[in-house]
């Protein structure tokens, strides 16, 4: 049994030790905040973006750093997940890519407001949050991973159209873009986004054009957005299909696929001889 004075000493001592620990940890946390949040990266655009975020009550639907409402996607890593091009098109008109399917408000932002919002989200995504949010559960993917992996079949440059038209926000192509994107379809199943490196093996040119023009018509509920006509014109679909088909090593060289050492104006080189022609002897 403790005597009265022992109990008092025990109480005061314990309180003192734990208060000191609490103050030390509080001080430690606060001293780490500037480094973890990259205070130096808070540009005026980031600050304006935060004001847009607050004034429009984005948190009424979204979470950021895990805080907010659970109606719409967590946005902490949205720039990393989607890329700036995708978000720019999405914020300009959230329904453009998913006509009639999506419930995000169209705020009619100006181009500058969109850039500010993206700058803010980009800054959020770079804050050190000890690994929050967790990566999507890859084991639930329903598309074979072989198609998702980058094969990098060619050293050719990826035409700018693939970046500008958001394809590389989700797909990988010749080592560029998003290598391991996984996204939910309308049933909530996780779908691995295939690499486009060898899509010529899986789709004929007409099927490729049909798919890019209206994926929902071919596979209702697919997470691949309808980009035509809001983002990609029908002429651009042809351009995209030309390039993807030209990655086939056995395709005849076309305008989209100039041979590496015969640029632009040079006449098309003769078809290469079969690699391992049997020797007559
Ligand atoms: C009424 C609810 C609601 C409000 C308010 C709202 N959003 Fe959204 N937002 C959504 C929904 C639903 C989606 C998912 C839409 C989709 O996938 O097509 C979404 C998607 C997004 C995405 C794309 C996320 C991704 O990973 O694809 C961004 C970025 C975004 N919202 C930003 C904002 C910003 C910035 C604001 C405030 C200016 C805001 N949202 C306000 C409902 C809302
Ligand atoms: C928002 C993410 C997203 C964007 C942006 C996107 N795609 Fe896709 N794409 C997907 C997903 C997911 C699939 C797989 C769909 C499925 O199996 O349901 C897919 C499938 C495809 C396929 C079929 C691949 C195969 O292996 O059969 C092609 C081709 C394709 N996309 C081309 C494009 C092109 C070209 C663009 C740009 C104009 C583009 N995608 C933009 C998500 C996207």
Residue 10, judged by CB atoms within 10 A of its CB (0-12, 13-18, 19+), counts as: exposed
User: Is the CB of 237 inside a 6 Å radius of any atom of ligand 2?
Assistant: no
| DSSP per residue, 44-81 | HHHHHHHHHHHHTTGGGT-EETTEE-SSS---TTHHHH
- Domain 138-246 in CATH 1.10.760? The answer is yes
Tally of CB atoms within 10 A around 130 = 5
Asked whether the predicted pLDDT for residue 123 surpasses 60, the reply is yes
**Rounded Cα gap, residues 66 and 55, in angstroms:** 19
What atom of ligand 2 comes closest to residue 191's alpha carbon? Answer: 12
Q: What percent of the chain has pLDDT over 90?
A: 47
- Residue of 60, 73, 77, 121 to test ligand 1 pocket, by largest number of atoms within 8 Å of CB: 73
Q: Whose alpha carbon is nearest atom 34 of ligand 1? A: 58
Span from the CA of 211 to the centroid of ligand 2 (angstroms): 8
Section 135-153 average pLDDT: 57
What atom of ligand 2 comes closest to residue 208's alpha carbon? Answer: 29
User: Is the CB of 173 inside a 6 Å radius of any atom of ligand 2?
Assistant: no
**Between 212 and 192, the higher pLDDT residue:** 212
**Rounded Cα gap, residues 134 and 69, in angstroms:** 18
Whether 178 and 86 have beta carbons less than 8 Å apart is answered as: no
pLDDT per position as a tens digit, 146-172: 555 666 667 889 999 998 888 888 888
pLDDT per position as a tens digit, 87-120: 988 898 888 777 666 678 899 999 999 999 999 9
Asked whether the predicted pLDDT for residue 230 surpasses 50, the reply is yes
Which residues sit opposite 173 in a β-bridge? 176
- Nearest residue to 55 via CA among 98, 116, 12: 116
Asked whether the predicted pLDDT for residue 1 surpasses 90, the reply is no
**Between 117 and 266, the higher pLDDT residue:** 117
**Rounded Cα gap, residues 77 and 69, in angstroms:** 16
Specify the DSSP element, H or E, that contains 184.
strand 182-184
Asked whether the predicted pLDDT for residue 217 surpasses 60, the reply is yes
Span from the CA of 60 to the centroid of ligand 1 (angstroms): 10
Q: 17-126 and 138-246: same fold?
A: yes
Q: What percent of the chain has pLDDT over 70?
A: 81
Residue 224 structure tokens: 């691949």
Residue 170 structure tokens: 């989700």
Residue 101 structure tokens: 């399917």
- Which CATH architecture describes the domain 17-126? Orthogonal Bundle (1.10)
Span from the CA of 73 to the centroid of ligand 1 (angstroms): 7
User: Is the CB of 79 inside a 6 Å radius of any atom of ligand 2?
Assistant: no
Span from the CA of 105 to the centroid of ligand 1 (angstroms): 7
The per-residue pLDDT for 276 is 43
User: Is the CB of 61 inside a 6 Å radius of any atom of ligand 2?
Assistant: no
Residue 134 structure tokens: 């967790």
**Rounded Cα gap, residues 176 and 276, in angstroms:** 31
User: Is the CB of 36 inside a 6 Å radius of any atom of ligand 2?
Assistant: no
**Rounded Cα gap, residues 167 and 86, in angstroms:** 8
- Residue of 83, 102, 171 to test ligand 2 pocket, by largest number of atoms within 8 Å of CB: 171
Whether 205 and 212 have beta carbons less than 8 Å apart is answered as: no
3-state SS, residue 88: helix
User: Is the CB of 212 inside a 6 Å radius of any atom of ligand 2?
Assistant: yes
pLDDT per position as a tens digit, 77-86: 999 878 888 8
The per-residue pLDDT for 268 is 44
- Nearest residue to 180 via CA among 211, 127, 222, 135: 135
pLDDT per position as a tens digit, 237-257: 999 999 999 998 887 765 554
Residue 189, judged by CB atoms within 10 A of its CB (0-12, 13-18, 19+), counts as: middle
**Rounded Cα gap, residues 110 and 116, in angstroms:** 10
Span from the CA of 22 to the centroid of ligand 2 (angstroms): 51
Q: Where are the domains of the chain?
A: 17-126, 138-246
Lining ligand 1 with CB less than 6 A are 52-53, 56-58, 60-62, 71-73, 75, 78, 81-82, 87, 90, 94, 98, 102-105, 107, 117
Whether 141 and 190 have beta carbons less than 8 Å apart is answered as: yes
Which residues sit opposite 177 in a β-bridge? 172
């Amino acid at each position: 049994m403790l005597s009265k004075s022992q109990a008092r000493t025990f109480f005061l001592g314990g309180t003192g030790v734990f208060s000191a620990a609490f103050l030390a940890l509080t001080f430690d946390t606060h001293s780490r905040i500037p480094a973890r949040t990259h205070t130096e990266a808070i540009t005026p655009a980031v600050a304006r973006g935060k004001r847009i975020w607050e004034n429009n009550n984005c948190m009424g639907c979204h979470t950021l750093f895990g805080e907010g409402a659970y109606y719409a996607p967590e946005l902490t890593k949205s720039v990393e997940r989607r890329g700036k091009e995708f978000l720019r098109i999405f914020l300009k008109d959230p329904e453009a890519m998913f006509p009639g399917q999506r419930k995000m408000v169209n705020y009619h932002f100006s181009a500058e407001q969109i850039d500010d919002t993206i700058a803010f989200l980009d800054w959020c995504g770079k804050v050190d949050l000890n690994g929050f949010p967790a990566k999507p559960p890859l084991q639930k993917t329903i598309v074979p991973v072989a198609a998702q992996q980058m094969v990098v079949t060619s050293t050719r440059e990826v035409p700018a159209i693939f970046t500008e038209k958001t394809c590389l926000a989700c797909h990988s192509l010749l080592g560029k873009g998003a290598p391991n994107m996984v996204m939910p379809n309308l049933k909530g199943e996780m779908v691995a986004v295939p690499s486009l490196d060898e899509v010529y093996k899986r789709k004929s040119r007409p099927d490729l054009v049909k798919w890019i023009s209206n994926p929902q018509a071919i596979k209702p509920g697919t997470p691949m957005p309808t980009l035509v006509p809001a983002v990609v014109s029908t002429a651009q679909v042809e351009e995209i299909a030309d390039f993807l088909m030209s990655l086939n090593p056995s395709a005849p060289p076309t305008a989209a696929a100039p041979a590496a050492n015969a640029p632009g104006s040079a006449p098309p080189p003769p078809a290469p001889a079969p690699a391992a022609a049997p020797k007559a002897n």
